[in-house]
């Protein structure tokens, strides 16, 4: 058995392998959902663990799968605290308008904390070959990335943008460790600046094309509007059709940006003797994002598991390491226990810094 786990005979550059399928994940997702409903939401913590175990266990590097170690009880506790915080926040915002200033200050302090704790939990609950990942809880860096950098970008009229982008990825990567080996991101500002300029160019082209498409759609709708005997229904169709080119353009731009960032940052990242690699195609990625969105809309959400698996498979299978031969030499460290509160609060308030 288990030819799949044999370390390849010839060590060298290798990509990640993703063995999950949409149909299989659909069944896991829907069973999770039904059990969550039957238990009035309590099972959601177990559902999350199974979902992540599925994605981690389906991701292999040099034949070995990743492991997720999150504990459902810890996640449930985090969720309960998160829901209480959300309710308290909502109630205060709704009923005590005078507290808005205090909430504003709390936001500035709490968001970097949440984002950092979430990353800490995610990393410490991840292992590969029995060695855990770790994260240095750099709250100051998170504060700089979230609040300071955008302000500087605005006041410098965009000149600080390359620095802001690098800051964000340095925070993510340089604070991450595999065992006792720290990841290092080494990239100059120049390639980031070029990437930003290229993306700006692409954005302008996409914008022009989208405006043209909107105008064409407008003409088209104007001529076929007569079948609708009332104005409002015609208007509704009009709005939906106008939305399509804008949406499509948005996906193309997002795919372009994401592939540019990952293709730049990951190959510039090293952990000890191992360098990361990434070679995504903007066209493929845009196709996946756009068709995923279409599938989800047309199936009223049922396509979601297939969409997630497609995106994960493409992203993972075009990411890898420079030398699998060096993967045996990493040393683990003791990691402390971490509560899931930050991550769960972050999920509920929808704040996150991710790759």
Partner 1 sequence: MSGIAVVFYDGRRSAPRRARLHLDVTGLARIELADGDRSYRIAELVIGDRVGARSPRQIEFPDGALAHVEPDARSDALLDRIAGQSGWVRRLEARWPQAVAALALAILAAFGFVRYGLPALAAAAAGRVPADIERQVGERALREIDEDWLEPSALDRQRQAGLRADFERRIASRAEGGAVRLEFRAGGEIGPNALALPGGIVIMTDELVAQAQHDDELMMVLAHEAGHVAHRHTLRQVFESLGLAAVLTVLTGDLSGPASLAAALPAVLAQAAFSRRDEREADAYAFGWADAAGVPRTRMTDLLERLDKSTGGGDWPTYLSTHPSSSERAAAARAGR
Which of 22, 137, 191, 250 touches partner 1 (CB under 8 A)? Answer: 250
Closest distance to partner 1 from the beta carbon of 291 (Å): 12
Closest distance to partner 1 from the beta carbon of 76 (Å): 14
The residues in 171-200 that bind partner 1, with binding defined as CB under 8 A, are 179
- Only one of the segments 140-148, 159-167, 184-192, 330-338 lies at the binding site for partner 1 (rule: CB under 8 A); that segment is 330-338
Q: Which residues contact 116 (CB under 8 A, 6 or more apart)?
A: 135, 137, 138, 139, 142, 342
Determine, following the binding rule CB under 8 A, whether residue 97 of this chain makes contact with partner 1. Answer: yes
**Ramachandran quadrant class, 301 (left: phi over 0; alpha: psi -120 to 50; beta: rest):** left
Pairing of strands 59-61, 274-278: unpaired
DSSP label at residue 146: I
Q: Specify the residue, 163 or 349, whose C-beta has the smaller distance to partner 1.
A: 349
- Only one of the segments 8-16, 33-41, 154-162, 197-205 lies at the binding site for partner 1 (rule: CB under 8 A); that segment is 33-41
| Residue 324, CA distances (Å) to 74, 93, 159 in order | 34, 52, 39
Per-residue interface string for the shown chain with partner 1, residues 126-165, x marking contact by CB under 8 A: -xxxxx----------------------------------
The residues in 51-70 that bind partner 1, with binding defined as CB under 8 A, are 53-54, 56-58, 64-65, 67, 69
Residue corresponding to tokens 């392998």: 17
Cβ atoms 177, 133 nearer than 8 A = yes
CA 165 and chain centroid, separation = 16
**Ramachandran quadrant class, 274 (left: phi over 0; alpha: psi -120 to 50; beta: rest):** beta
The residues in 227-246 that bind partner 1, with binding defined as CB under 8 A, are 229-233, 236
What does the alpha-carbon distance between residue 123 and residue 85 come to, in Å, rounded to a whole number? 24
Q: What are phi and psi of 225, to 5 degrees?
A: -75, -25
The residues in 108-127 that bind partner 1, with binding defined as CB under 8 A, are 127
Cβ atoms 16, 60 nearer than 8 A = yes
Nearest 5°: the CA angle 219, 225, 230 is: 140
Which of 4, 102, 156, 158 touches partner 1 (CB under 8 A)? Answer: 4
Q: Specify the residue, 13 or 240, whose C-beta has the smaller distance to partner 1.
A: 240
Per-residue interface string for the shown chain with partner 1, residues 251-290, x marking contact by CB under 8 A: ----------------------------------------
Determine, following the binding rule CB under 8 A, whether residue 95 of this chain makes contact with partner 1. Answer: yes
Q: Which residues contact 94 (CB under 8 A, 6 or more apart)?
A: none
Binding residues for partner 1 (CB under 8 A): 1-2, 4-5, 7, 19-20, 24-28, 30-31, 33-38, 41, 44, 50, 53-54, 56-58, 64-65, 67, 69, 90, 94-95, 97, 127-131, 179, 229-233, 236, 247, 250, 292-293, 296-297, 300-302, 304, 307, 327-332, 347
């Amino acid at each position: 058995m288990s030819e799949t786990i044999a370390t390849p005979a010839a060590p060298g550059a290798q990509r990640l392998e993703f063995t999950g399928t949409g149909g299989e994940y659909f069944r896991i997702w829907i069973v999770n959902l039904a059990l969550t409903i039957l238990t009035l939401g309590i099972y959601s913590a177990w559902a999350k663990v199974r979902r992540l175990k599925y994605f981690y266990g389906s991701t292999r590097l040099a034949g070995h799968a990743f492991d997720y170690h999150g504990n459902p009880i810890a996640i449930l506790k985090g969720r309960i605290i998160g829901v209480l915080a959300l309710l308290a926040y909502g109630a205060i915002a709704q009923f005590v308008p005078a507290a808005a200033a205090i909430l504003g200050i709390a936001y500035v302090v709490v968001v970097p904390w949440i984002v950092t704790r979430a990353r800490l939990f995610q990393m410490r609950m991840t292992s590969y070959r029995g060695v855990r990942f770790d994260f240095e809880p750099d709250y100051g860096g998170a504060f700089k990335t979230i609040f300071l950098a955008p302000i500087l970008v605005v006041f410098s009229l965009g000149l600080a943008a390359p620095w802001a982008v690098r800051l964000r990825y340095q925070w993510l990567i340089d604070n991450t460790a595999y065992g006792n080996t720290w990841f290092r991101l080494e990239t100059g500002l120049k390639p980031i600046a070029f990437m930003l300029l290229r993306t700006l160019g692409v954005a302008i082209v996409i914008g022009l094309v989208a405006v043209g498409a909107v105008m064409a759609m407008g003409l088209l709708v104007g001529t076929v509007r007569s079948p609708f005997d009332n104005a409002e229904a015609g208007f509704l169709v009009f709005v939906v059709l106008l939305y399509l080119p804008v949406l499509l353009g948005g996906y193309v731009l997002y795919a372009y940006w994401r592939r540019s960032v990952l293709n730049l940052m990951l190959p510039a990242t090293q952990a000890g003797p191992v360098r990361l690699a990434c070679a995504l195609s903007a066209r493929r990625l845009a196709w996946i994002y756009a068709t995923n969105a279409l599938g989800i809309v047309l199936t009223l959400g049922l396509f979601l598991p297939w969409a997630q698996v497609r995106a994960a498979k493409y992203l993972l299978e075009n990411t890898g390491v420079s030398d699998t031969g060096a993967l045996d030499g990493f040393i683990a460290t003791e990691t402390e226990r971490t509560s899931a509160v930050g991550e769960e609060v972050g999920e509920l308030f929808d704040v996150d810094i991710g790759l």
